[in-house]
Homo-oligomer: A and B are copies of this chain.
Amino acid sequence: MKCSASCKLARHSGIALNLGVSLVFKTIQTEGIAELSYLLGDDDEGVGAIFDPRADVEVYVEMAREAGLAITHIFETHIHADLVSGSRELSARLESAKIYSSGEGGAEYGFGPEKIKDGDHFTFGEVLVTARHTPGHTPEHMSYLLAEADHPDEPWAVLTGDSLFVSSAGRPDLLGEKHTKQLAEQQFHTLRDFYLNLPDHVMIYPNHGAGSPCGADIGSRLSSTIGYERKFNKFLQFSDPKSFTDYAINSAPPVPHYYPIMKRLNAEGPKVLGNLPRVPALPPKAFKEAIDKKAGVLVDVRTMLAFGGGHISGALNIGGTPILSIWAGWMLDSEKPILLVMESDDDLERIVRLFVRTGFTKFAGYLIGGMK
């Protein structure tokens, strides 16, 4: 192989041609559901993991390819109540990755993930991942400590899932009233005995940011540190489980209707779609016939003002911003197909992604040309 000018210069100057930086760590922020998932890997070794993928998984496939990583592990922090887990979908698309879910807290799954236990270790080149059982938001909840190979016992960060958030903590009341008290006490001990025992300098990377109904008043920063949260996070200021429990329950925002459905779906294992759901294109006449036949629930995703200016009689307006994912969960039944009215046909893929994230995969069609 010939050595180019820059290659010769590299030899001469002692600068390595391979400027690979080994650690790859990226946050994937999904608005609306306010979810934070993570890509972690080592680009020297070419291996990596995804933590808590959302349902429309294309972003992870592309990001891993760009980073030069083969994803071998898909980790879940817990059985999500607020979004469809993309783990099975991603695993099917990649064909290189197994799913690792918590085997603690009596977790049962309707599919076959690898079950992990408190203390289990995983290595991705220079990056060490250690699973820690941190129940409270859910009984099986796992957090993941991240450390460098040089300092395996000194984590630089922890993926906190829905246990510790920036300025908040995961709510303990999503499994029904009879479990809430026990979960709140577990959360108290998780925060106090696990998180507050970590050094101040450890960074926290949670599964949710501001706007998620999984916690009260989650802060607007996407990450923080143990030390900063120790000082200012209200959930870390309690010294007894009773007052913590009262605060955790009373501060929690309303529970969206669709949460119990998500929980069951994610425990059973969401169906692998293989692609974004297809939505038949319907010309106005066919669209009207579909409405008349009650082929689906008529949902108009244009802005409130456009909807106010004129809409098809009987249509439900849910504006096509990212928060649509959550509104749809509140208002619609995922078993019933959707008839879609948009401003422009170009919006289709974006809108379908928003629906898919909270389990809406059935579409009876969209109105060609939209309404404008």
* Chain A contacts to B: CB under 8 angstroms: 1-7, 9, 13-15, 19, 21-23, 25, 34, 126, 150-151, 154, 156, 199-203, 209-211, 213, 219-228, 230-232, 253-254, 304-305, 307-308, 316-319, 323, 327, 330-331
Contact = CB atoms under 8 A, between A and B. Distances in A.
A100 to B, nearest CB: 23
Contacts of A21: 209-211, 220
B25 A316 contact: no
Given A25-B222, A156-B228, 20 more contacts: A4-B308, A5-B316, A6-B319, A6-B327, A9-B327, A14-B253, A15-B253, A19-B210, A21-B210, A22-B220, A25-B221, A154-B232, A200-B201, A200-B225, A200-B227, A201-B201, A201-B225, A202-B225, A202-B228, A225-B227
Given A15-B253, A254-B14, A304-B2, A330 B9 contact: yes
A154 B319 CA distance: 39
A327 to B, nearest CB: 5
Residue among A6, A150, A224, A330 facing the most chain B CB atoms (10 A cut-off): A6
Contacts of A318: 4-6
A201 B209 CA distance: 20
Contacts of A225: 156, 200-203, 225, 227
24 contacts: A2-B304, A2-B307, A4-B304, A4-B307, A4-B308, A4-B318, A4-B319, A6-B331, A9-B327, A21-B209, A21-B210, A22-B210, A23-B220, A23-B221, A154-B228, A156-B224, A156-B228, A200-B225, A201-B226, A201-B228, A201-B230, A201-B231, A203-B203, A203-B224
Nearest to A151: B232
A179 to B, nearest CB: 23
Nearest to A126: B220
B201 A5 contact: no
Contacts of A220: 21-23, 126
Contacts of A308: 1-2, 4
Contacts of A305: 1
Closest 5 A/B residue pairs (Cβ): A201-B227, A21-B210, A4-B317, A23-B220, A2-B308
Contact of A6 (B202, B211, B222, B317): B317
Contacts of A2: 304, 307-308
A146 to B, nearest CB: 9
Contacts of A14: 253-254
A4 B3 CA distance: 66
A331 B9 contact: yes
A217 to B, nearest CB: 11
A143 B312 CA distance: 57
A312 to B, nearest CB: 14
A323 B4 CA distance: 14
A300 to B, nearest CB: 9
A19 B202 CA distance: 28
A7 B221 CA distance: 27
A224 B201 CA distance: 8
Contacts of A319: 4, 6
Contacts of A231: 151, 154, 201
